[in-house]
Amino acid sequence: MQPIHPWLPLAILSSCFALGCTGNPPAAPPSDETKINAALDKLAPEDRKLAEAQKYCAVEPENRLGKMGKPFKVTIENQPVFLCCKGCETMALKDPEKTLAAVRKLKAANESSSKK
């Protein structure tokens, strides 16, 4: 049997620290819901309630509000409308009636799904 070199345990330990071997598994990335809640937390409480009622962008309804960061708020005909990002503002303002109809539809869909 060969003797263990005195530097071998130190080399292994040094390598482990250099490579980040702490014995703990890597932290899991935050879930989508965690990211969405963090983005919605950046809104004022009354705006958060309205954004949660709408749930999805009025222009890009496949985009969940908060998934791309803090939802962007515009006012159309004295009504608050939430968008996934500032990039949707031009489209939202281009056809106000269509945008407000989309908001009504999103709120109704969200309300009916939350009752199930």
pLDDT in tens, 52-111: 999 999 999 999 999 999 999 999 999 999 999 999 999 999 999 999 999 999 999 998
Which residues, listed in sequence order, are joined to residue 72 by a DSSP beta bridge?
83
- CB-based contacts of 61: which residues, under 8 Å, 6+ apart? 102, 106
Q: How does strand 72-76 pair with strand 79-83?
A: antiparallel
pLDDT in tens, 35-54: 999 999 999 999 999 999 99
Instruction: Write the secondary structure of 36-99 as one string of H (helix), E (strand) and C (coil).
Output: HHHHHCCCCHHHHHHHHHHCECCCCCCCECCCCCCCEEEEECCEEEEECCHHHHHHHHHCHHHH
